[in-house]
Amino acid sequence: MIRAILAGVGVALAAAPLGCFVVWRRMAYFGDATAHAAILGVALSLTFSVSIFAGVLVVSLAMALTVSSLTGRGFAMDTMLGVLAHSALAFGLVAASFLSGIRIDLMAYLFGDILAVMPDDLAVIWGGAAIVVGLVVWRWSALLTGTLNPDLAYAEGVDPKREQLVLTIALAIVVAVAIKVVGALLITAMLIIPAATARSFSRTPEVMAILAAAIGAGSVFGGIRASYHFDTPTGPTIVCITAILFVLSVSLSRLGRNSTARNDA
């Protein structure tokens, strides 16, 4: 249980600040495509007997770079992302079916198996989280400027495409470290929902990132505890807790706006 909590908190800390940029840039489907490619990375890792983390990282990074390179080239991006996301997932599942003599628990990679995290996995998760947080902190100002106003970014000597590459690399790392915890199908939820929940209560981007990390970590604690008591799948339960917090945040935000409107009236 302690390893599971540490793993979940590590993923939450990595996903939260990155998730804020995913929300601000409306890159939800971008994250989905990258996460779905992780299953293909798992199959290739087992085929060539290399580290799961390395295989997922390489394939996720390749998918993210492919999507980035197609941006602004005349493709309908929602259609292209849909094609890439589901094709990568399908090819990964088919490739996994050809693995003979190798036992693979696809459900664990699709929906996560946080209770099976080992000390080596914790080292990978926290190492990846440290890299992602370090990248975001290092490039925070440039990333924020490129997100809010690309023209202003160029005027200040910031290349938005370079910052997009930084986000792409960070996103691939998050996918690689999170697949063991919440699985390929739920990674995007951990990126988006805590950030979307924090948005209602944040006045500055920095507060939103910190609050998203706290919400993500709290969801891990709540999800693991609820999973233990109700005997439910841990990864999906964690995402359910984040979804409940999001609904509560939206409700509280609307109540606050209605109360303010009545007072003004």
153 close to 139: Cβ distance less than 8 angstroms: no
List the chain residues with pLDDT less than 50.
Answer: none
Query: pTM for the complete prediction?
Result: 0.86
Residue 47: the pLDDT is 81
User: Taking the CA atoms of the chain, what radius of gyration do you get in angstroms?
Assistant: 19
Residue 134: the pLDDT is 92
Residue 195: the pLDDT is 93
161 lies in a domain?
A: yes
Burial class, 122, CB count within 10 angstroms (exposed 0-12 / middle 13-18 / buried 19+): middle
Residue 262: the pLDDT is 61
Residue 65: the pLDDT is 79
54 lies in a domain?
A: yes
Domain count, the chain: 1
263 lies in a domain?
A: no
Residue 133: the pLDDT is 92
- The residue type of 263 is N
258 lies in a domain?
A: no
pLDDT digits (tens, 9 = 90+) for 192-249: 999 999 988 888 999 999 999 999 999 999 999 999 999 998 989 999 999 999 999 9
262 lies in a domain?
A: no
- Check residue 115 and report its DSSP letter: G
Alpha-carbon dihedral angle through residues 33, 38, 39, 42, given to the nearest 10 degrees = 160
Name the residue range of residue 170's domain.
Answer: 2-191
219 lies in a domain?
A: no
Helices and strands, counts by H and E, the chain: 12, 0
86 close to 185: Cβ distance less than 8 angstroms: no
244 lies in a domain?
A: no
31 lies in a domain?
A: yes
Query: Residue 42's domain is classified under what CATH number?
Result: 1.10.3470.10
